[in-house]
Amino acid sequence: MKRISLMLLAVCLLFFASAFNPKRVPAQAPLPAPVDLDIPTPPTAVRAGGKIHLFYELHITNFRPQSLELTGVEIYEEETRAKPLASHKDRELISRLARPGTPPDLPDGRVIGGGLRAIVFLQVTVDAEADLPRSLRHRLSFKLDDAGANGGERVVEGAAVSIQRSPPPLIAPPLSGDRWLAANSISNMSVHRRAIIPVDGSARIAQRFATDWIKLGPDGRPFHGDPAVNANWYGYGTELLAVANATVLEVKDGLPENVPLSAKRAVPITLETLGGNYVLLGLGRGYSVLYAHLRPNSLRVKVGEKVRRGQVLGLLGNSGNSDAPHLHMHIADANSPFGAEGVPYVFASFEVQGAVKSLGVLVGGEGWTPQPNAAVDKRRTEIPVENAIVRFQ
């Protein structure tokens, strides 16, 4: 009994010594930022502009009742976690953020309110396929400025994701000839890249790798004469070609066309009218390709029909959510125009004739001036980058 009493006394003395000696109390680790990180669609590598690119989205949900501020995002190779592959902060980070459900005049998208979500549009680019990591991991920094959270900055690591290495669909051109502008094509800032559309209970980006194909004339401009006339646009009425042997899944026809460059649309824009008159082809392996904004009453195929690569499907027009005559084309991972996730694709070959800085120079009258002695820039198994000017064989 005496031995047990002495042991209890020793334990009690140690406890009280620790309690009243702050130097011996271990420092309390700061609470982590209570966020949920998710990457709904793993990235698939695609070649564009001579490099290999990964495009994907990181969803951040704040589980606190108070706001927190996202101050930095770093992307690492999962295996080594050495030097970050990419790092984003300050205004450059703001440019990569979307805040669904918040007012359009949100002063700072980095401040995520309690229970709200932010989406970061991420891109990783490497020089060659051998440089491509197998998987990625993310390190996020947050500022918690309320007193209850002890203030300061918190770091969260997670959202590990494996890179999809299956080859993207290899397709033939949807058009023929030269001077085709790949407007709003593959880019982290493209309007297609940011087009998040909830369909059947899921928010999707079917247009992640979409391109708006606009024909330029000999003068380097997209139209001649009065731009308010559809027929004055060089691409208007061009035949649209099947990019592969496929099955016609859906068609829509009969919607009227818009007046080019007008803010008004010929019909109210809904999920049903967004693509205007369109053809949706099934490519197999679960992929589909959408041809949108076609000229009314120009479709030459019907649902269930088998088409061959290069077969004419319809004519280029200006219907649906369209500012001017062009072909909107994208490939997605399900048989739906917009209720699917956009996937990258590549053309067997094409030539790059040049590029424009922005679409504004074409509409504003400056146009594009080809370089007469420029070397032939032939690309194979690539997708054209945003605003490249392309020749198809």
* Rounded-to-5 percentages of helix, strand, coil across the chain: 10, 40, 50
Please enumerate in sequence order all residues whose Cβ is within 8 A of that of 7, keeping only pairs 6 or more positions apart, or say none. Answer: none
| Together in a domain, 49 and 116 | yes
| pLDDT score of 146 | 66
| pLDDT score of 28 | 44
- Final residue in a domain of this structure, among 138, 162, 186: 162
- Final residue in a domain of this structure, among 98, 128, 162: 162
Rounded CA-CA distance 282/288 in Å is 4
* H helix runs in the chain, sequence order: 2-19, 90-94, 360-363
Q: Can you give the pTM of this predicted structure?
A: 0.88
* Domain tally, the chain: 2
**In terms of Cα–Cα distance, which of 88, 104, 84 is closest to 96?**
88
| pLDDT score of 187 | 93
Instruction: Tell me the CATH number at 338.
Output: 2.70.70.10
Is residue 5, in this structure, part of any structural domain at all?
A: no
**In terms of Cα–Cα distance, which of 333, 334, 316 is closest to 325?**
316
Is residue 28, in this structure, part of any structural domain at all?
A: no
Expressed as residue numbers, the domain containing 271 is 170-392
pLDDT one digit per residue (tens) for the chain, 393 residues? 444 343 333 333 333 343 434 444 344 445 567 899 999 999 999 999 999 999 999 999 999 998 999 999 999 998 776 789 999 999 999 999 999 989 888 889 999 999 999 999 999 999 998 889 999 999 999 998 764 545 578 899 999 999 988 899 999 999 999 999 999 999 999 999 999 999 999 999 999 999 999 999 999 999 999 999 999 999 999 999 999 999 999 999 999 999 999 999 999 999 999 999 999 999 998 999 999 999 999 999 999 999 999 999 999 999 999 999 999 999 999 999 999 999 999 999 999 999 998 888 888 878 898 888 778 899 999 999 999 999 997
Is residue 19, in this structure, part of any structural domain at all?
A: no
| Together in a domain, 197 and 112 | no
16 three-class SS: helix
- Final residue in a domain of this structure, among 129, 162, 195: 162
